[in-house]
Amino acid sequence: MKAILALADGTTFEGESFGVAGETIGEIVFNTSMTGYQEILTDPSYKGQIVTMTYPLIGNYGWNKFDTESAKPQVEGLIVREYSQHHSNWRSEGNLGDYLIEHGIIGIHGIDTRALTKRLRTNGVMEGTISTENLKSELLVKKAQKFGGIEGQDLVKKVTCTSIYKWENPTKKKHRVVAIDFGIKHNILRMLQKHHCESLIVPAKTSADEILAMDPDGIFLSNGPGDPDAIDYGIKTIRSLIGKKPIFGICLGHQLMSLAIGAKTFKLKFGHRGANHPVQDIDTKQIEITSQNHGFCVDIDSLPNSAKITHINLNDQTLEGIELTDSPTFSVQYHPEASPGPHDASHLFQKFSDLMSKDYA
């Protein structure tokens, strides 16, 4: 079935559909990972976005129930150069196209994803429309232009859990962690479990008093989608929690923690999305190859004196991690749970465990 991708700047691409028929609108972004498309599809941080895969062949190992990062795909659409209908993997349970159809996701393939990615790198991420129903390019461009983007939108409310739940118990319980769900990935919870943490996951609007009443050993601030400035309730809660318990934040959790201490955030031109981003630890000078997915970033120059810079992105020198000098609190912009990608940064979960083992009374 013919499909059209139309960008807000007037650029259009013709291709073929391999998901459900219909129409979708979102912010067009690109991811440089060679594998891990199922993890990308199900990452709640992609809510509101249509993902372009820069690796040309997608779908060759199908899908399975073990590699999901949430209960269902969260992207608004998927763009690939060549979709492989024929899949081969010992864990595979079906092809990618059927998986998209099952969950109501529109996919388009057969377009020049290299040209699309170069346009996004040059002009910045922009809104776009994919349609199999309306093939009038001018109308689709206008719809993309009217979308308005994700800045100022609270997308967390669309992906956070609706009630408190517990993740699987670790074999040897050592700590109790309350994880604030701004759009948490399953592999973060698996990593906490691996480090002997019992995790209680709470909705994003859970108050600081409610969290502290659960008597956690530590508090985790999860990843999530959209503009951190729009999550005012999360910023307020985190501000009330700092200094009360050890805190570890990842991605959006890092941004919200930074806003809570008085820093500012800004939107990157085309974001960091992929499994191959070099980050340097300022103290050790060690370089970690990290998995990343974010379109906003904390402004280094806005950090207060209480925040120590711990990690820097070697591609563009943007902030990748901080820790507070006056409380057991730290956060990183990248994803140390590393799925997909290397495991260079997984030691940060041990750092969190060590903080929870200390007596701060």
The question of whether 161 is a catalytic residue gets the answer: no
Q: For 145-174, what is the mean pLDDT?
A: 94
How far apart CA 189 and CA 129 sit, in angstroms, is 34
Q: What is the pLDDT of residues 270-314, one digit of tens each?
A: 999 999 899 999 999 999 999 999 999 999 999 999 999 999 999
In order of start, what are the domains of the chain with their CATH numbers? 2-146 (3.50.30.20), 156-357 (3.40.50.880)
Q: For 64-89, what is the mean pLDDT?
A: 96
Q: For 45-74, what is the mean pLDDT?
A: 96
- Residues 6 or more apart in contact with residue 268 via CB below 8 angstroms: 294, 295, 296, 297, 318
Dump the DSSP string for 165-215.
EEPPPPSS--EEEEEEESS--HHHHHHHHHTTEEEEEEETT--HHHHHHT-
**Confidence class for position 115, pLDDT limits 50, 70, 90:** very high
3-state helix, strand, coil in the chain (%, to 5): 25, 35, 40
Q: For 127-154, what is the mean pLDDT?
A: 95
How far apart CA 161 and CA 41 sit, in angstroms, is 18
Is 347 exposed, middle or buried, given 0-12, 13-18 or 19+ CB atoms closer than 10 A? Answer: exposed
CB 168 within 8 Å of CB 194: no
Q: For 329-358, what is the mean pLDDT?
A: 88
- Residues 6 or more apart in contact with residue 322 via CB below 8 angstroms: 254, 258, 298, 303, 307, 308, 309, 310, 330, 331
Which of 27, 39, 198, 337 is catalytic? The answer is 337
Long-range contacts of 310-315 (CB under 8 A, 24+ apart): 310/281, 310/282, 310/283, 311/279, 311/280, 311/281, 311/282, 312/279, 312/280, 312/282, 313/272, 313/277, 313/278, 313/279, 314/278, 314/279, 314/280, 314/287, 315/272, 315/277, 315/278
The question of whether 197 is a catalytic residue gets the answer: no
Q: What is the pLDDT of residues 163-199, one digit of tens each?
A: 999 998 888 899 999 999 999 999 999 999 999 999 9
**Residue 341 pLDDT:** 60
Specify the amino acid at residue 37. Y
Which of 186, 254, 311, 335 is catalytic? The answer is 335
Q: For 130-158, what is the mean pLDDT?
A: 95
**Residue 358 pLDDT:** 86
Residue 360 has pLDDT above 60, yes or no: no
Q: For 87-104, what is the mean pLDDT?
A: 96
**Residue 169 pLDDT:** 85
Listed range (49-63, 115-129, 329-343) with the worst mean pLDDT: 329-343
Residue 340 has pLDDT above 80, yes or no: no
Q: Please state the φ and ψ torsions of residue 354, each to the nearest 5 degrees.
A: -65, -40
Which of 251, 294, 311, 323 is catalytic? The answer is 251
**Residue 208 pLDDT:** 98
**Residue 311 pLDDT:** 98
- The tokens of 355 are what? 């903080």
Q: For 35-59, what is the mean pLDDT?
A: 97
Specify the amino acid at residue 50. I
**Confidence class for position 343, pLDDT limits 50, 70, 90:** confident
Of the candidates 277, 295, 297, 296, which has an alpha carbon nearest to the alpha carbon of residue 287? 277
Q: Which of 346 and 351 is assigned the larger pLDDT? A: 351
- Residues 6 or more apart in contact with residue 139 via CB below 8 angstroms: none
**Residue 79 pLDDT:** 98
- The tokens of 241 are what? 């929690």
Average pLDDT, the chain: 95
**Residue 45 pLDDT:** 97
Listed range (86-95, 146-155, 351-360) with the worst mean pLDDT: 351-360
Of the candidates 27, 35, 15, 7, which has an alpha carbon nearest to the alpha carbon of residue 116? 7
Share of the chain above pLDDT 90, in %: 93
Helix (H, G, I), strand (E, B) or coil at 300: helix
Element spanning 312, H or E: strand 307-313
Q: What is the pLDDT of residues 243-257, one digit of tens each?
A: 999 999 999 999 999
**Confidence class for position 226, pLDDT limits 50, 70, 90:** very high
